[in-house]
């Protein structure tokens, strides 16, 4: 029988470290934030809160056992960066390379029954940035929370797969869809890929992340509906209509990106999709749980039913059944 791996974080009185437990052998492996193994410990019960552990000859008293996927993250700042758009920086126990671009967190907003899914925009050390737009009651509450802790599930879903792109990648975002793409752009540059970014917004005052892209030194192009240019026409102007891409944004935009040249109307679906274009698309859905338990976010794909929160939110454009979503 394969041992059951329980993933938890124990926070110690003095230092915070993570650990994984192997239930059947009743042993736990303690590793620090850098994933160095500090000690093995034996214990009786995975959720016993009162045992002490000896680590490198020192006894530490454990006072909290936190599940790996559910954490209390501290609000570092939460500021408006464009009209009705906020950047929320959260800090806490985060492991190196734990969160991948395209993954999201699911936030408990005080006073709301369901959690709110928000993509991770920037990952640095033990902090993450989330960029969110005020659209309804939950985000309206969130904008006014300036300090304290938030109850967060993370990381949720599967992110973009950069290894599927060879040397070059085109990154296309529309509206709030640009949020996860900033993390992707940074990562692609780190991996020495040639990156071109196209971001579309309603109007210049809605534009975000320009300075951050400039700092990355990446080739980027902004376009605005108010000026009659959208990301699809911009892609054409740049002569990149056949390049493999990663995208996030409204569904009609994603559909247009995968369609043949003149098929960017919403009505013509599956039959106008251009199968030569390869894209990775990040989709959205109203979610009940965000971790695969409720089937509230499933869509039908060519490979059967898939959950946007678990198998997604990033999908290969070729697996999508456009007439089903």
Partner 1 sequence: MGQNIDLSGMMIDNPLIPASGAFGYGMDYQDFFDVNEVGTFCTKGTTLHPHKGNPLPRIAEYSGGMLNCVGLENPGVETVVREYFPKLRNTYHKKVIANVCGFSVDDYIKTAEIFDREECVGLIELNISCPNVHAGGAAFGKDPSIASEILTEVKKVCRKPVYVKCTPQCPDLVLMCKTLEASGADGLVLLNTWLGMRLDIRTGKPILSNITGGVSGPGIFPLSLYKIYEVYKNVNIPIIGCGGISNGRDVIEMMSAGASAIEIGTELLTDPMALPRIKKELSELMDTYNITELSEIIGRAHK
Ligand X SMILES: Cc1cc2nc3c(=O)[nH]c(=O)nc-3n(C[C@H](O)[C@H](O)[C@H](O)COP(=O)(O)OP(=O)(O)OC[C@H]3O[C@@H](n4cnc5c(N)ncnc54)[C@H](O)[C@@H]3O)c2cc1C
Ligand Y SMILES: Cc1cc2nc3c(=O)[nH]c(=O)nc-3n(C[C@H](O)[C@H](O)[C@H](O)COP(=O)(O)O)c2cc1C
Q: Does residue number 84 form part of the binding site for ligand X (CB under 6 A)?
A: no
Closer to ligand X at the Cβ: 90 or 272?
Answer: 90
Partner in contact with 284, chosen from ligand Y, ligand X, ligand FES, none, beta carbon below 5 to 8 Å by kind: ligand X
Cβ at position 163, least distance to ligand X in Å: 21
Stretch that binds ligand X, among 11-19, 127-135, 199-207, 228-236 (CB under 6 A): 127-135
A 10 A CB-CB count for 89 gives: 18
Q: Which two tokens stand for residue 67?
A: 């599940």
Nearest to 320 by CA among 270, 285, 284, 276: 270
Closer to ligand X at the Cβ: 28 or 118?
Answer: 118
Q: Does residue number 157 form part of the binding site for ligand FES (CB under 6 A)?
A: no
Closer to ligand X at the Cβ: 233 or 316?
Answer: 316
What is the x/- site pattern for ligand X, positions 275-294, by CB under 6 A?
---------xxxx-------
Closer to ligand Y at the Cβ: 178 or 289?
Answer: 289
In whole angstroms, what is the distance from residue 181 CA to residue 187 CA?
Answer: 10
Closer to ligand Y at the Cβ: 15 or 294?
Answer: 294
| Cβ(325)–Cβ(317) below 8 Å | no
Pick out residues in 281-300 that bind ligand FES (CB under 6 A).
287-290, 292-297
Q: Does residue number 176 form part of the binding site for ligand X (CB under 6 A)?
A: yes
Torsions phi, psi for 191 (to 5 deg): -90, 15
Nearest to 105 by CA among 161, 183, 32: 183
Residues that bind partner 1 (CB under 8 A): 1-2, 4-7, 23, 46-47, 67-70, 108, 112-115, 136, 153, 285-289, 291-300, 305, 310, 324-325
Question: Regarding beta strands 219-224 and 245-248, do their DSSP bridges make them parallel or antiparallel, or are they unpaired?
Answer: unpaired
In whole angstroms, what is the distance from residue 61 CA to residue 59 CA?
Answer: 7
Torsions phi, psi for 78 (to 5 deg): -155, 85
Torsions phi, psi for 251 (to 5 deg): -55, -45
Closer to ligand X at the Cβ: 92 or 101?
Answer: 101
The helices-and-strands tally (H runs, E runs) of the chain is 5, 21
Cβ at position 292, least distance to partner 1 in Å: 4
Residues that bind ligand Y (CB under 6 A): 288, 294, 296
In whole angstroms, what is the distance from residue 184 CA to residue 116 CA?
Answer: 21
Cβ at position 290, least distance to ligand Y in Å: 12
In whole angstroms, what is the distance from residue 188 CA to residue 169 CA?
Answer: 8
| Cβ(52)–Cβ(62) below 8 Å | yes
Hey, which bits of 175-231 come out as E strands? 194-201, 219-224
Partner in contact with 4, chosen from partner 1, ligand X, ligand FES, none, beta carbon below 5 to 8 Å by kind: partner 1
Cβ at position 308, least distance to ligand X in Å: 6
In whole angstroms, what is the distance from residue 127 CA to residue 183 CA?
Answer: 13
Q: Does residue number 305 form part of the binding site for ligand FES (CB under 6 A)?
A: no
Q: Does residue number 83 form part of the binding site for ligand X (CB under 6 A)?
A: no
| Cβ(178)–Cβ(165) below 8 Å | no
Cβ at position 105, least distance to ligand FES in Å: 13
Q: Applying CB under 6 A, which residues contact ligand FES?
A: 287-290, 292-297, 307, 309
Q: Applying CB under 6 A, which residues contact ligand X?
A: 104, 114, 116-119, 131-133, 135-139, 176, 179, 284-287, 313
């Amino acid at each position: 029988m394969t041992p059951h791996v329980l993933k938890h974080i124990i926070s110690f009185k003095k230092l915070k470290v993570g650990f994984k437990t192997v239930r059947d052998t009743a042993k736990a492996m303690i590793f620090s934030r850098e994933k160095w193994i500090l000690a093995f410990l034996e214990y009786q019960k995975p959720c016993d809160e009162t045992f002490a552990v000896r680590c490198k000859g020192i006894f530490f008293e454990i006072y909290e056992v936190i599940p790996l996927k559910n954490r209390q993250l501290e609000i570092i700042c939460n500021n408006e960066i464009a009209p009705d758009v906020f950047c929320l920086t959260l800090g806490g126990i985060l492991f190196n390379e734990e969160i991948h671009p395209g993954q999201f967190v699911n936030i408990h907003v005080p006073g709301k029954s369901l959690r709110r899914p928000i993509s991770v925009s920037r990952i640095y050390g033990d902090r993450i940035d989330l960029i969110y737009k005020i659209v309804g009651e939950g985000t309206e509450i969130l904008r006014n929370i300036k300090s304290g802790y938030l109850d967060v599930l993370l990381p949720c879903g599967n992110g973009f797969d950069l290894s599927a792109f060879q040397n070059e990648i085109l990154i296309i975002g529309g509206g709030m869809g640009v949020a996860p793409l900033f993390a992707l752009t940074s990562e692609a540059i780190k991996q020495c890929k040639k990156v071109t970014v196209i971001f579309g917004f309603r109007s210049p005052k809605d534009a975000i992340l320009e300075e951050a892209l400039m700092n990355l030194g990446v080739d980027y192009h902004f376009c605005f509906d108010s000026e009659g240019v959208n990301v699809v026409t911009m892609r054409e102007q740049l002569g990149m209509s056949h390049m493999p891409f990663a995208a996030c944004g409204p569904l009609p935009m994603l559909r247009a990106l995968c369609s043949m040249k003149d098929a960017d109307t919403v009505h013509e679906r599956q039959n106008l999709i251009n199968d030569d274009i390869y894209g990775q698309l990040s989709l959205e859905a109203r979610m009940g749980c965000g971790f695969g338990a409720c089937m509230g976010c499933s869509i039908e794909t060519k490979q059967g039913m898939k959950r946007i929160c678990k198998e997604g939110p990033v999908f290969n454009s070729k697996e999508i059944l456009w007439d089903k979503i």
